Amino acid sequence: GAGVSQTPSNKVTEKGKYVELRCDPISGHTALYWYRQSLGQGPEFLIYFQGTGAADDSGLPNDRFFAVRPEGSVSTLKIQRTERGDSAVYLCASSSTQGATEAFFGQGTRLTVV
């Protein structure tokens, strides 16, 4: 079956612009995670959804970052007034429930802010 799908795979935007990154989790997965990965670093947790609600958004770096999951499946990460420091690979992961032992990651969206 299909894995976690992230679109676009690459996004180049100008400093100050608004961007949306989309994540389609595996069908039926209730838990969804967003991570950010800078070059040479491990992924850094941003936000976790259980169903439609954000159960933990403690990793969002500031109020320019926001994520939604209105119907409990697709999620969108939104970044306002992008800065060059936002350039990174944004990864999405899903698992069948919070109790599942394995998270499935997408291939990520590479965001470049110029």
Partner 1 sequence: DAKTTQPPSMDCAEGRAANLPCNHSTISGNEYVYWYRQIHSQGPQYIIHGLKNNETNEMASLIITEDRKSSTLILPHATLRDTAVYYCIVSPTSGTYKYIFGTGTRLKVLA
Residue type for 37, please? Q
By CB under 8 A, tell whether 87 contacts partner 1: no
Q: Of the ranges 12-20, 64-72, 73-81, 93-101, which one interacts with partner 1 (CB under 8 A)?
A: 93-101
Rounded to 5 degrees, what are φ and ψ at 85?
A: -70, -10
Contact 88/112 with Cβ under 8 angstroms?
no
Neighbours of 60 (CB within 10 A): 18
Distance separating alpha carbons of residues 48 and 46, to the nearest angstrom: 7
Site string for partner 1, 21-60 (x = CB under 8 A): ----------x-x-x----xxxxxx--x-------x-xx-
Residues that bind partner 1 (CB under 8 A): 4, 31, 33, 35, 40-45, 48, 56, 58-59, 91, 93, 95, 97-108
